[in-house]
């Protein structure tokens, strides 16, 4: 499992270096690659679609982050690195606690994005249907 994750990270680094991306965040890297430009006189539907895309992308990236946080947390728990490396016990405990806090924040952000998407879609459906 760890070898697979290391390979994925290495492939992502090679891909990012190959494409000469200069962003440290995946969100900005995706947006710069897509190069979506919306004109000022675009219709309301186009603006709404862009907003839905942005919220969906944020929710997807939050979900992926939380998933990886949980995988790393489970790996740390199963392998018991604290007893193998007693000098790193303080760092590992700090990482576990911070990892949990960040996962909670990411989960809340993902939930908020999904709620906004759902409620705005519901409002538009009721506006155009009735």
Q: Determine the structural domain holding residue 8 and report its residue range.
A: 1-25
Instruction: Report the domain count for the chain.
Output: 2
- Is the same domain home to 50 and 95? yes
pLDDT higher than 60, residue 127 = yes
Check whether 21 has a pLDDT greater than 50. Answer: no
pTM: 0.64
Q: Does some domain include residue 31?
A: no
The secondary structure of the chain as a DSSP string is -HHHHHHHHHHHHHHHHHTT---SSHHHHHHHHHT----TT--HHHHHHHHHHHHHHHHHHHHHHHHHHHHHHHHHHHHTHHHH-GGGHHHHHHHHHHHHHHHHHHHHHHHHHHHHHHHHHHHHHHHHH-
Q: What is the pLDDT of residues 38-62, one digit of tens each?
A: 777 777 777 777 788 888 888 888 8
Whether residues 45 and 11 fall in one domain:
no
- Does residue 62 sit in the same domain as residue 118? yes
Residue 13 and residue 51 in one domain: no
């Amino acid at each position: 499992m760890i070898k697979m994750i290391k390979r994925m990270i290495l492939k992502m680094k090679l891909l990012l270096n190959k494409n000469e991306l200069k962003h440290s965040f995946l969100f900005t890297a995706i947006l710069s690659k897509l190069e979506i430009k919306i004109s000022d006189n675009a219709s309301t539907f186009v603006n709404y679609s862009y907003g839905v895309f942005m919220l969906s992308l944020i929710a997807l990236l939050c979900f992926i982050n939380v998933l990886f946080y949980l995988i790393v947390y489970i790996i740390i728990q199963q392998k018991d690195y604290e007893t193998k490396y007693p000098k790193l016990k303080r760092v590992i405990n700090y990482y576990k606690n911070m990892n949990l806090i960040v996962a909670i924040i990411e989960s809340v952000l993902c939930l908020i994005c999904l709620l906004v998407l759902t409620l705005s879609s519901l409002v538009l459906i009721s506006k155009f249907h009735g």
